[in-house]
Chains A and B, each alone.
Chain A
């Protein structure tokens, strides 16, 4: 088991390295750099001014060097004032050390946000917290309901219960967040007026059913369908297996058979599925936060991308890659742990 862990961890690090390199490459493509410098100087800057700005701020140095600096394995040189030659911070809103130091990711320095005019972590951490709250409530609603629907449907495969629940699940896998968001807002905010169509107040005044229910519902619906379908399939497969027949032929009551024998085996697959939903939930978070104006991680990402805020984009990609890879790892470990055939030799 330990070997498995070490292997996966190594793969994860390598993936993170590759992915951040790719993002760094994409973010520093010529058109994106132009966009950045235009937004930082002014709309009518000439090409020459743009070039000077980029050069001054160190965007023309060799690619791999800049990547290594960002990582923190090469020392970052301080920017110098053009006239005096004294070290001067590049941006007024971020501190920078006056001497060459290691100040990259590995040292915990995420950089400077050109869009928000703040150090990254001042913007990002609270945003992550807000998103965390959202994700918590989404999981709390989505997972139990999906599991219950899946188990009920799989338990009684082929009956009307199963068919109805399956149709419900299939429908919900067909509603991405921008669709369900629109529909729910129309129904609950416009027609019925029960819920608030915007979640801005959630960040300012705190979370409540009134301002938070819509975003949570919107996100939960899409994932719920898929998890329910997978749970149903797993449950149906288990219920037709031989060892369930053995349990039945031992004379056990139906609900004992289900609860004690079937569930334990049927829930292994859904667990991994739930973990592997996280990459898609990240996309959902972005859509939902933009739609309901909730200033969490997704909203920050969209703003950063629209303005090519390089450091912020890089930090966001680290966060998302970290989330995706760790959930993958948890999924693998969980599967190995839950499945006695792998856990016990």
Chain B
């Protein structure tokens, strides 16, 4: 019998604050075998990060392990001394977490920071350590390891920094590697690179890993086993295939139903959000934590007392914390979808033609002498949006989507080109010069729900102020009435009108943001990644709300996102941007299956999908997104394109591609020849049979 690397039994961790003791992790058990990758999935506040910090023994001043054991290679970590712990850290157990820039010492060169590890734990000399470091920098696929060795952290890109951090973790060949949301702060295509790296390293070095994330698809891609956590407890655990194919906990199932998978469709098969809210740590319900939100809740069974893990499959080590495992019909479809008719789009409402925006950077000092650098944020942008249509603008950081949004809303003015809203030119007119009617006609929903409301004003007051600026309502009473109606529209209780923003949760704040955007009955609403900062279970509810309102009011929506799954779910048309250019545009079907531009291909491949029946072609881009200050000559994508060798005469490096028409309303900006386009295959294939489609690197459980 092989000994598990890590065996956690009945772990209880609590935090001690001014408000008293708050249990963060309760009755948590988990086993990781050598060479295995265990995924820990849950939303914010579920305790997954606390578990990894508990393993490292870094709970801070206020945290304490109350009971339970953490056995690492047989030794109980809760019982060892600080000195012993110090020897384990960085040596046998290493940890990597979210923000790579913050994880590295900004005042120390990379090489020096990394050399500390072997010098400390293995007693290597300086030159030996330096060699080891350069070797591992190469192993994490960093170009030019010598240069990286002599650089400071801020000189590297986000993806490169995270590779350095991973290298630092692997330097002394630990037996266990903890990764706490290592890719959340990175762009999607960069994330794909890191994911591939992690999988390769697991194979080559045989390291066991614990991968903590909130993204089910990511866990599916990288891990062998999975543990789902909810509000401090583990609710389901098992092998990837076992859990995904045979979900045995209502929460896991609910999570899956609220993620836009390839099979979902906003009209035929809409997302089903999990109702209710995450309980606060000191207000957990009696019995099953998930009870109040569960569709299968039965009084006296589910709230009688503490619920323990029950066995689903002994061979697979598949357990679930549900009292009614055998009673619930797991294959039944979720309760009535509300199937709606697809909405027919109307006339063109927004017409953008060859829009250009160039920024001057540097300057403003009295003595001039500024370097005149130009950021070419938007180049030659043309798109059309019709009434009641949802147009998705897809791209990663630096692609210019935020700039486009700012120009449309009047926060910036265009350098050249037109942007016409219902016959009115708006691209060259700043918001202060627009009429209130125009201002009310195009509004925005912002990305960060925690910053979208003024903390010093009441929620209702802010909506009323918006109405005032839009000149809606003749007096305060009329406006107050309309404000209450708006609260009804976003399904919030009317009492919220007098509350302050800090009393609302993230999802509720975003609903107010939606109410504010729709206050003036706009023709176009620009939604800038409105749900990406919210928890998964809340995302579905807010997305559905947005879709409902749009359907009723026939508003045009410009949905900015980098998440292709969400885009596929709700967009009618898609515009793909890269480094200020539109590289592909068309209807959702045209762009997605198959994708024609190499960047679209890579984007589609990069997004993790939480469905075992989906087969995905793996395309990983090398390098990072170039800086907008110094774009490549020729095609902007040339530095990373996986197909540039298929174009003769090195055209990609010298010539900016022209728009090529591939179909009705479908355009691509690429040099590739037509016959290559004709042979393009879809990146994602949904198999109806859920048989043995597995990702290749999957050791048997």
Contacts and interface: CB of A to CB of B under 8 A. Distances in A.
Interface of A: 3, 6-7, 10-11, 158, 241-243, 245-253, 261, 264-265, 338-341, 344-345
B370 to A, nearest CB: 9
A6 B87 CA distance: 51
Closest 10 CB pairs of A and B: A250-B90, A251-B90, A242-B102, A251-B89, A243-B105, A264-B107, A340-B152, A246-B103, A341-B154, A251-B86
B95 interface: yes
B168 interface: yes
A253 B86 contact: yes
B99 interface: yes
Contacts of B97: 242
A250 B116 contact: yes
A98 B88 CA distance: 86
Interface string B79-117: 000000011111100110101001111111000000011
B108 A264 contact: yes
Contacts of B155: 344-345
B1 to A, nearest CB: 31
B423 to A, nearest CB: 48
B106 A265 contact: yes
B121 interface: yes
A339 B99 CA distance: 20
Interface in B158-187: 165, 168
B369 interface: yes
B56 interface: yes
B365 interface: yes
B103 A7 contact: no
Contact of A246 (B86, B91, B104, B366): B104
Given A6-B369, A7-B365, A245-B58, A250 B106 contact: no
Contacts of B90: 249-252
Interface of B: 56, 58, 61, 86-91, 94-95, 97, 99, 102-108, 116-117, 120-121, 152, 154-155, 165, 168, 365-367, 369
A271 to B, nearest CB: 13
A7 B102 contact: no
B107 A340 contact: yes
B58 A265 contact: no
Given A6-B369, A7-B365, A250-B117, A340 B104 contact: no
Name the prevailing secondary structure of the A interface residues. helix
Contacts of B94: 249
Given A245-B58, A265-B107, A341-B106, A250 B99 contact: no
17 contacts: A11-B366, A242-B102, A243-B102, A249-B56, A249-B90, A249-B95, A251-B88, A251-B90, A251-B91, A251-B117, A251-B120, A251-B121, A252-B86, A264-B107, A265-B105, A340-B152, A341-B106
A261 B112 CA distance: 11
Contacts of A264: 105, 107-108
Given A241-B102, A243-B105, A265-B105, A250 B89 contact: yes
Contacts of A340: 106-107, 152, 154
Contacts of B58: 245, 248-249
Contacts of B89: 248-251
A250 B120 contact: yes
Interface hub of A158, A340, A341 (most chain B Cβ within 10 A): A340
Nearest to B95: A249
B174 to A, nearest CB: 11
Nearest to B114: A250
Given A251-B89, A261-B108, A7 B116 contact: no
A11 B121 contact: no
Contacts of B105: 243, 246-247, 261, 264-265
A6 B369 CA distance: 10
Contacts of A253: 86
Contacts of B104: 243, 246
Interface hub of A243, A252, A253 (most chain B Cβ within 10 A): A243
Given A11-B367, A243-B104, 18 more contacts: A6-B369, A242-B103, A248-B89, A249-B56, A250-B117, A251-B91, A251-B117, A251-B120, A252-B86, A252-B120, A253-B86, A261-B105, A264-B108, A338-B107, A340-B152, A340-B154, A344-B155, A345-B155
Contacts of A252: 86, 90, 116, 120
A265 B154 CA distance: 14
Nearest to A268: B107
A250 B88 CA distance: 9
Nearest to B112: A260
Contacts of B91: 251
Nearest to A250: B90
B161 to A, nearest CB: 11
A16 B152 CA distance: 38
Contact of A251 (B87, B107, B165): B87
Nearest to A343: B152
Given A243-B103, A243-B105, A341-B106, A250 B152 contact: no
A242 B117 CA distance: 17
A3 B103 CA distance: 32
Contacts of A249: 56, 58, 89-90, 94-95
Nearest to B171: A250
A3 B368 CA distance: 11
A11 to B, nearest CB: 7
Contacts of B88: 251
A253 B104 CA distance: 17
Contacts of B365: 7
Contacts of A11: 366-367
A214 to B, nearest CB: 40
Contacts of B102: 241-243
A265 B102 CA distance: 13
A252 B91 CA distance: 11
A311 B496 CA distance: 69
Contacts of A344: 152, 155
Nearest to A344: B152
Contacts of B120: 250-252
Nearest to A10: B367
B70 to A, nearest CB: 16
Nearest to A247: B105
Contacts of B95: 249
Interface hub of A3, A245, A249, A344 (most chain B Cβ within 10 A): A249
A246 B635 CA distance: 40
A195 B426 CA distance: 78
Contacts of B87: 251
B30 to A, nearest CB: 20
Contacts of B107: 264-265, 338-340
A337 to B, nearest CB: 12
Contacts of A246: 103-105, 165, 168
Contacts of A339: 107
A265 B107 CA distance: 6
Interface hub of A242, A261, A339, A344 (most chain B Cβ within 10 A): A242
A250 B89 CA distance: 5
B393 to A, nearest CB: 32
B369 A243 contact: no
Contacts of B61: 158
